[in-house]
Amino acid sequence: MSATEQTIATLRAQIAGLLSQIDTTAKPRPTVVTQHPEPSPGAAWHPVRNWTVRTIDDDLVEPRHVYVTCPEHGRSGAAADFDALTSDDARRLAMALLAAADWADGLAADVTPLDARRTGTSRTEASQ
């Protein structure tokens, strides 16, 4: 393989890795939507096994919260227990999960993640 062909192959691999970091998927639809008068009316998503993310449409519950349960709740004996997050915190958590998944995909593709050279902390990290 010539030097030019090797360079092109390297560039193709790097481009493939960078493209893997682009999010092109739409937001998922709820897995289940429960209507009044059933208990805990609202939308629920089951993104992966033993995880549930839900909103509750009830006058007794804060409307700006997202409720999350994970496998750890089942191991601790509180399988029906949910952690409440404000919608802002839920978005920050979702973005961190996306960023970590992108980073892991980049490492798996042997491509340096785009944020690897960024120095310092983000404004959000600095304010917490």
Q: Say if 125 falls within a structural domain.
A: no
Residue type for 111, please? V
Residue 120 reports pLDDT greater than 80: no
What's the average model confidence in pLDDT over 87-100?
91
Q: Say if 54 falls within a structural domain.
A: yes
Q: CA 47, CA 2: separation in Å to the nearest integer?
A: 46
Q: Say if 20 falls within a structural domain.
A: no
State which residues form the domain around 37.
Answer: 27-111
What pLDDT does residue 126 have?
47
Classify residue 66 as exposed, middle or buried by CB count within 10 Å of its CB (0-12, 13-18, 19+). Answer: buried
Q: Say if 58 falls within a structural domain.
A: yes
Give the number of domains in the chain. Answer: 1
Q: Say if 91 falls within a structural domain.
A: yes
Residue 54 burial (CB count, 10 A): 20
Encode pLDDT of 51-93 as tens digits. Answer: 899 998 888 777 789 999 888 776 666 556 788 899 999 999 9
Encode pLDDT of 10-44 as tens digits. Answer: 888 888 777 766 766 678 899 999 998 888 899 99
Q: Say if 51 falls within a structural domain.
A: yes
Find residue 53's DSSP bridge partners. 45, 68
Q: Say if 34 falls within a structural domain.
A: yes
Q: Say if 73 falls within a structural domain.
A: yes
